[in-house]
Amino acid sequence: MSWDTVTLDVDDAGVATLTVDRPDKLNSLNVATLEALEEAIREAATRDARVLVLTGAGEKSFVAGADIGYMQDLSTPEAQAYAELGHRVADGLESFPAPVIAAINGYCFGGGCELALACDLRVASERAVLGQTEIDLGIVPGWGGTQRLSRLVDDETARRLVFFGERVDASDAYELGLVGELVAHNELEDDVAEMAAALAAKPKYALRTAKEALNMVHEEPQHAGLQYEKRAWSGLFGTHDQREGMAAFVDDREPEFE
């Protein structure tokens, strides 16, 4: 299978590398790219990948977020459909039948941060910058961020990151526990490759079982929270602040919220 904005490579050891390939758009996620990611994740599972690595093309960005130009005029039902699509991709990473590593090589905002949160392990380049930045668009995280963030950081830190929409550099992200490893930018690819190879050499079914058991800790309460998040996120579309926040972003100006 092939896609215009996503590439999937599986090596002989069973390490699959999934790359969002829109470097001219900082690897932001439009509908076509999300749909391609959904298909590529399924394809990697079909090809019996023992490890999945998620990263972004180019030197600047992992995934800079969702496509704000597309989102700004969505109706509530359209926003709900977009939320469902984003959740399917994040859920696909979280439930993938092997460990998933996010190789965060640059900007990792909004929906991009949410995809990283859905991975099992996160390795960040020293150039990475992360954040749940949705609040300044008049919305909230809508692809799992409100539920998954507090797994990695304490509750108040999660609230601060969401309420203020702060962007944190890689060093701070590591200190907060948002990423598990911090490496020099030019060492990221080799470091992740070494980690992926080590995992690929582990017993496949034991790893799958371990992941399922670890995920089970969160599944029931998280399910209700994720359902609420989708409704809350899409319900903000059509409000003044959502329209103004996204219009201001597209127009490159400061928003004027109610």
Residues with a known catalytic role: 114, 134
On whether the CB atoms of residues 89 and 115 are closer than 8 A, the answer is yes
Q: What tokens does 250 get?
A: 């597209």
Choose among 182, 189, 252, 166: nearest CA to 59: 189
**Amino acid present at 91:** D
On whether the CB atoms of residues 242 and 236 are closer than 8 A, the answer is yes
b/e map 4-15, b = 16+ CB within 10 Å: ebbebebeeebb
**Amino acid present at 115:** L
Gyration radius from the chain CA atoms: 17
